[in-house]
Structure 1
Amino acid sequence: MNAKKYLLRSAYELCRLRPIERITLKEICEHAEVSKQTVYRYYKDKYELVNALYRQLTQENIIDVNAVMTMDDWKKMYLTQFRAFREHLEVVRHLYSSRETGCTLHYEIESTIRFDRLLLANKGADLTDPRIQFAIEAKDVGGTYMMGDWILGGMQVGDDEMVERFRCVIPHILMPYYEI
């Protein structure tokens, strides 16, 4: 196993136990048995490391802009991601508890905005239209905070209901692009 895998595994194991705010980079390095220099070879800080972990757990092979052609595809993608959240709930909760610069919440907002820009561009939306830009940001910031609250609350609402809530926060101006 290479150092990067050790770091990701160590971050996972430590984030199962407590929030990322209470974990130091030194602890991650000691747990992985690597030096800080090794960390900096791959990541700029602990948040970039845990966001890579989050991406691996909840986005890789799940979030695919080319696989979303209809609202049903969009729903299936979210349901698959929610299963990953549930499978790794303690880690995801501990990642979402941070509000520091570079934290997972901010990473998720940026990822979702990139995803929606690609999706809407593929479907012919005019991304230079300020109304479209505003709608994307409103949907993705609001939706991500809603998802973060849901995760931090232990995901008490069912997955299908949560997808419906996400659908409800899609601004009217964007709906035609999701219903194609």
Structure 2
Amino acid sequence: MSQKESKKLDRRTRYTRMAIRDALYELLKDKHLKKITVKEICAKADINRATFYRNYMDIYDLYEKMEAELTESIFADGNLEADRYKLLTIIYENQNFYKEFFSSHLESRYIKATVAAMYEQKKDLIKTRGTYDEHTFQISYQYNYYGVIGVIKEWLLAGCPDSPKDFGDIIYGIVEKQYK
């Protein structure tokens, strides 16, 4: 295959994947992920099932890859302070997607990685003060993690009434106070 043919195929593949993702995103406005079928996605994207399965194993694979595309770039620089605001912005800009994400109890490797990095950062901070107890810290951090996830979910279900920056300032301010 020539380089020109390869680029054309890549362009066609990118277009097809974009059509599939757009179809799923549209369907998520009215239905939960578990109620959406590959047949519906194919009809909306104007492709056949073989094309869908050439690109994705199933709907959940598609969903996971969409989440990766949304979040991968925001965590690239490793700046935890900025990353949490970027994450809230991504959620704000993709509300239908993330409503389904939280209602289906799907997990994000990016959110987990950010939380793990924040966990280590807070642990190191507390250790320097000489008041560190591993067991208490783990429970405290889990409490904060699940609390923040719950508050983000409620913010999202309410239609994100606060801007990502304002909302982030509130929730991260609450969490930060506990580790000062």
TM-score surpassing 0.5?
yes
Q: Deviations over 1:76-127 (max 9, x none)?
A: 333333333333333333x2463xxxx3x4314x64333222344467648x
| Per-residue deviation, 1:163 | 1.1
- 1:59-98 to 2 correspondence within 5 Å? 59-64=71-76, 66-68=78-80, 74=81, 76-93=82-99, 95-96=100-101, 98=103
2:37 equivalent to 1:24: yes
Match of 1:35 among 43, 49, 53: 49
| Per-residue deviation, 1:36 | 6.4
| Cα gap change, 1:130 to 1:64, in 2 (>3 Å) | farther
Could you tell me whether the CA contact under 8 Å between 2:84 and 2:168 is conserved in 1? yes
2:67 equivalent to 1:54: yes
| Per-residue deviation, 1:61 | 1.4
Structure with the higher helix share, 1 or 2: 2
Could you tell me whether the CA contact under 8 Å between 2:91 and 2:98 is conserved in 1? yes
| Cα gap change, 1:147 to 1:124, in 2 (>3 Å) | closer
User: C-alpha separation between the residues in 2 aligned to 1:121 and 1:80?
Assistant: 20
The aligned residue for residue 163 of structure 2 is 158
2:135 equivalent to 1:130: yes
- 1:134-145 to 2 correspondence within 5 Å? 134-145=139-150
User: Helix, strand or coil: the match of 1:80?
Assistant: helix
| Per-residue deviation, 1:141 | 1.8
The aligned residue for residue 111 of structure 2 is 112
Instruction: Report how many aligned residue pairs link the two structures.
Output: 158
- The percentage of counterpart residues that share the same residue type is 16
| Cα gap change, 1:35 to 1:53, in 2 (>3 Å) | same
The aligned residue for residue 12 of structure 1 is 25
Could you tell me whether the CA contact under 8 Å between 1:96 and 1:152 is conserved in 2? no
| Cα gap change, 1:29 to 1:60, in 2 (>3 Å) | same
Gaps of 5+ in 2: 1-11, 128-132
RMSD: 3.4
| Per-residue deviation, 1:17 | 4.3
| Per-residue deviation, 1:147 | 0.4
Gaps of 5+ in 1: 69-73
The TM-score with structure 2 as length reference comes to: 0.65
The TM-score with structure 1 as length reference comes to: 0.65
The aligned residue for residue 71 of structure 1 is none
The aligned residue for residue 169 of structure 1 is 175
